[in-house]
Chain A
Amino acid sequence: MVAGVGVDLENLWIRFGDFVAVRDANVNIKGGDFFSFLGPSGCGKTTILRAVSGFLEPSEGNVLIGGKNMKGVGPNKRPTALIFQNLALFPLMKVWENIAFSMEIKGASAAERRKRADELLEMIALEGQGDKLPSELSGGQRQRVAIARALCAEPHVLLLDEPLSALDLKLRQHMRTELREIQQRVGITFIYITHDQGEALTMSDNIAVMRAGVIDQIGEGKTIYNDPATPFAASFVGENNVFRGKVKRVSGDRVLVQSNRSGELLARISTANLGRLKEGDNAMIFIRPEAFELAKTGTEGDHYVSARVINEEFEGNVFNIFMEGDGGKEIKVSLPNLGQSFDSHKGQTMTLKYDVKNAVAMPAGVLATE
């Protein structure tokens, strides 16, 4: 088995003419990590992947794999294997030939290749399917063949470019678990590109959130979800409600914000922004839909929000309430379905309570557009 090696990006800039695709990226990915680059399309995450795989030379800065600078090393000489968004299986080769293609290059005999391909086919639960053509397999099976083909090259780093985006929802969720299992079994470094925060959160050890060529935040999924560093990270990863306003008072990591329409709100300043908010600043407070609970109507205070209910929906595991919010955006509240009865409050004003540690404040900035 091959050990995973670390990948480091040092002051990485990638430009296409005047367009800056990646701006000064600095990332240290530990060996054996499942690391995701998460961001909307066009944010530069695929560009980073192409720079790591060697299909693209950085304009400035370095890509280090296992501590070695990869400058001038072609994609066929790097210890990486790339899984393409459309998989790019060779349509005219049989499944086993596809899987063992990297061994064919090294001059392995047909018997050796077949043996290794069969082992990998067993690992991906496709025993006996080696003599088929890729077109004879289902989408999920092809997906697994692509993984086997990449693993057969014994890479130290596996690069995955949104490999699940072409699959239907059920299969996608199943493949998340499977990918995570494969990664833990083979122990090599996985670098995963996705715009789907669910995928990033469920599979990754660490995530880099990207926006317009810039890495906004790097950290564990839990940290990014609970303690976002930027308004973009807060609004892109998971659902979030934003309250805008002006800072009234700061004390320690607590900040009191005079919000535009929900009165005074008390919040916790996110770790990355400690010391960066002062009186009179424009601030944003983010409170997740599931962080609210119902309070008695009319209760007031600095951790209560009152607003008129516009819409309600039952989603199964949660009951969603949409209330009039700031700047035309609705406040979404998700109450867990614990078997209690929900009365409709449509058109009425409701009061919600939140725990201050679940309200994250930071200087106002760009939100993720949906």
Chain B
Amino acid sequence: MPRILKDFLSRNGTGPGLVMLGLVLFWTVGLIILPQLSMLDFSFRPNLPPPEMGGPKDVYTLENYKYLIYGPEGGSQAYNTVDLMVFFRTLVAAACVTVFNLIICYPIAYYLGQTKGNHIRVFALMLIIPYWINEILRAFALRIIFGETGVLNTIFTGIGLFDTPFDFIRNDYALYAGLGYAYILLMIFPIYNVIESLDHNQIEAARDLGAPWWRIHWRVVIPYAKPGISSGCTMVFMLSAGALAAPQILGGPSSLWFTQLIYQQFNDSSDWPQGAAYAVVLLVTCVLLVLAVMRLFKVNMGDIGK
């Protein structure tokens, strides 16, 4: 028996230890790894009616992946430009949402983390409570704000800023705002957590040595908060790229999110293998992107867990 396991069991007692271990294994293997493996398996198979599954036609194929790149066989175009565009736009938009979220959340997290007093708890509550409302309602609330006859347009046309109502939804502003808003907590709290543990004397020391505020952030606070920033960015990016409700409700009619394509294939076309292939591509690309960015900013995997 490996030492770590022995330690774990002796610390928690054999019975409870085994139960905990079993639950964790069930969760990771049974609920995450196995279903994902089955999705991976699906993605390499042709879409067959149930009676033919496991039959002679059920062989491994790259057909579903080729479809994303080349489109339907005998199609008019050389590449599946529509889907590929959606794919890349989703990734770029998710990255933009992440960056905007970071820009908005860093000052909030800094303020929360470095200010003392009871009002901080009130602020934190005010950030958390809106999340009691479910995602769909929050998305529709944003439609009310951004809609053609919505709050913003009424105000802006009212004060004469716009002549005609601006279509926030068709131009995807509502979508980005919705996505940004949806994951704001996942950005704030990891950064807040780290900054809260930053000794305020370090900020004062930097200031005392002559540093202007931006340099204090650049050289002292941000390097210290890097684990929190990377963990927040990772979560926001992954979840934005994989979001479904917000794009569904807030996206313009012409702009699809890649997850919507996946959803259509699973649900509308009942083409599970095709949907699985798209989902796998999205997952793998996101993971690779995150790893590449982590490498670029010299963040360790261990930091993400902080």
A82–B201 Cα distance when bound, in Å, is 10
B73 adjacent to chain A (CB < 8 Å): no
A82–B210 CB distance below 8 A: no
Contact A82 B223, beta carbon cutoff 8 Å: no
A159 to chain B, nearest CB (A): 9
Q: Which of A81, A89, A93, A104 contacts B208 (CB 8 A)?
A: A81
**Separation in Å of the A22 CB from the closest CB of chain B?**
19
A102 and B209 contacting across the interface, CB-CB below 8 Å? yes
Indicate if A90 sits at the interface (CB-CB under 8 A): yes
Task: Report if B207 contacts A (CB, 8 A).
Answer: yes
B33 CB to closest chain A CB, in angstroms?
Answer: 36
Interface string of A93-115 (1 = CB under 8 A from B): 10000000110111000000000
> Given A92-B223, A92-B224, is A53 in contact with B201 using a C-beta cutoff of 8 Å?
no
The answer to whether B53 has its CB under 8 Å from any CB of chain A is no
Tier of interface size on chain B: 10 to 19
B18 within 8 A of A: no
Question: For residue B211, which residue of chain A has the nearest CB?
Answer: A105
Q: Quick check: B211 and A88 within 8 Å, CB to CB?
A: no
Q: Is B177 an interface residue (CB 8 A)?
A: no
* Among candidates A55, A90, A91, A106, residue contacting B210 with C-beta atoms closer than 8 Å: A106
A153–B209 CA distance with the chains assembled, in angstroms: 6
Residues from chain A with a CB closer than 8 A to the CB of B223 are 92
> Across the interface, do A76 and B199 meet the contact criterion of CB distance under 8 Å?
no
**A165 interface residue, CB < 8 Å from B?**
no
CB of B96 closer than 8 Å to a CB of A: no
Is the C-beta of B206 less than 8 angstroms from some C-beta in chain A? Answer: yes
Partner of A101, one of B206, B212, B224: B206
Within 8 Å CB of A55, what residues of B?
A: 204, 208
Contact of B220 among A54, A80, A90 (CB under 8 A): A90
> Which residues of A lie under 8 Å from residue B201 when comparing CB positions?
84-86, 88
Check if B205 is an interface residue, CB within 8 A of chain A.
yes
- By beta carbon, the residue of chain B nearest A85 is B201
Q: Does A75 count as interface, using CB distance less than 8 angstroms?
A: yes
Interface flag for B215 (CB, 8 Å): yes
Q: Per DSSP, are chain B's interface residues mostly helix, strand or loop, or mixed?
A: helix
Distance in angstroms between the alpha carbons of A174 and B92 in the assembled complex: 60
CB distance from A150 to the nearest CB of B (A): 8
What is the bound-complex CA distance between A53 and B219, given in angstroms? Answer: 21
Q: How long is the Cα–Cα vector from A53 to B205 in the complex, in angstroms?
A: 11
**What is the 8 Å Cβ interface bit string for chain A, positions 280-313, against chain B (1 contact, 0 not)?**
0000000000000000000000000000000000
| Contact A90 B202, beta carbon cutoff 8 Å | yes
Tell me the residues in window 342-357 of chain A with beta carbons closer than 8 Å to chain B beta carbons: none
Contact across chains for B205 and A82 when beta carbons are under 8 A apart = yes
Rounded to whole Å, the gap between the CB of A85 and the closest CB of chain B is 8
Give the contacts of B203-250 with A (CB-CB under 8 A). Answer: 204-212, 215, 219-220, 223-224
CA A86 to CA B204, docked complex, whole Å: 12
A149 CB within 8 Å of chain B: yes
Q: Which residues of chain B come closer than 8 Å to A101, judged between CB atoms?
A: 206, 209, 211, 219
Chain A residues, CB < 8 A from B211: 76, 101, 105
CB proximity of B206 to chain A, nearest CB, Å: 7
**Contact residues of B with A, CB < 8 Å?**
199, 201-202, 204-212, 215, 219-220, 223-224
Residue numbers of A with Cβ under 8 A of B are 53-55, 74-77, 80-82, 84-86, 88-93, 101-102, 104-106, 149-150, 153
Instruction: A74-B207, A90-B202, A91-B224 are known; give 12 further A-B pairs, CB within 8 A.
Output: A54-B208, A55-B208, A76-B208, A76-B209, A82-B205, A82-B208, A86-B199, A88-B199, A90-B206, A92-B223, A102-B210, A105-B209
Pick 11 A–B contacts, CB within 8 A, sort by A: A75-B207, A81-B209, A82-B205, A84-B205, A86-B201, A88-B201, A88-B202, A92-B224, A93-B219, A101-B211, A106-B210
